[in-house]
Amino acid sequence: MKKLLFYLSLVLLVLSSSSMAQDESVSGDSTEVFLIDSFITPELPHTFRLTFYTSDSCKSRVVMAGKYEFIVSSNYAEEHKAEIDLTDLEFDSTDIPFVVYVENKDGKTSRSEDFEVAYPVDNQASEVQQGGSSLLMMCCFGGVIFGLPSPGYVTWGGKSYFSLTKEIPILSLVTNNYKYPVGYFSVEYSYIFQLIQEERNFLRFGYKHIFQLPYLEYVSPGINVFTNLGGFNGISPELSVGFFKLYDIFTFYTKYRYNFKPGQAGSDFHEIMLGIYSGFFTFHLNL
């Protein structure tokens, strides 16, 4: 256990140093753009839906593929939303670059980082594929909104168990034009099958920090406190890896978690699980 905690601490230290270096490179004079949501609807007519926040009240516009410009907010605001019909537009690639420009009340213009949004691939010979794509998106929304749990594999005392866990992000911390929050606070409920009644249910509260990587979506170390509401209380460090995004809203991830009750030998157990993360339905706090 001590070795595991040491390695987790080492990972946190290295990644924190990298994050601080990135933060130092961001200019404090410009208005920051915090991208919350960007995707193109799979059904016709294709519509580009964009949501972002700014660190100051601004007017805003978006430029797609370097040639199509649209007004997002004509009045000064901190929250910006747009729905843009793409029916008559032509693009050279299914990965469409776009940039957000904002102008504050002092007349100073700032530019966001370069973003991309995926254009749905139409199949005119088969409406079934489009229906399946829409159904997949609905299932993803349903999983996040209505509580579809994440399946997990648990080892405890030399035995293996199956578990279901539902994590609900409550508060996300956003800054520095990141695609993902810097971190978020969450509440979780887990049910472990085949254990005795007193040890089946676990409630967790925790914080997860997100580090974006060039070849993966993110790596996210975290720390939780847990209870079974029956006197078994402990700590659970964890590490998640986000592999790929679905519709620019959901991220498929895998997670490893180590659970233990301090001072009680034989109380530790391990979890590996798969899930879908979205920070779209949480409260956001700009740092």
What's the CATH code, domain 147-286?
A: 2.40.160.20
Q: Residue 195's pLDDT is what?
A: 73
Asked whether the beta carbons of 62 and 97 are under 8 A apart, the reply is no
Q: Residue 69's pLDDT is what?
A: 94
Q: Residue 125's pLDDT is what?
A: 32
Nearest to 5 by CA among 235, 281, 254, 285: 235
* Six-digit token string for 113: 């980082």
Contacts with 201 (C-beta within 8 Å, 6 or more apart), sequence order:
189, 190, 191, 228, 229
Model-level pTM?
Answer: 0.55
Preceding amide of 45 cis, omega within 30: yes
Along the chain (287 residues), what's the average pLDDT of each consecutive run of 10 residues? Answer: 48 46 47 87 87 91 94 92 91 89 93 88 43 56 65 91 91 74 92 76 94 88 93 94 80 94 89 87 76
3-state secondary structure of 128: helix
Q: Residue 260's pLDDT is what?
A: 93
CATH topology for the 31-120 domain: Immunoglobulin-like (2.60.40)
Q: Residue 179's pLDDT is what?
A: 72
Domain boundaries, the chain: 31-120, 147-286
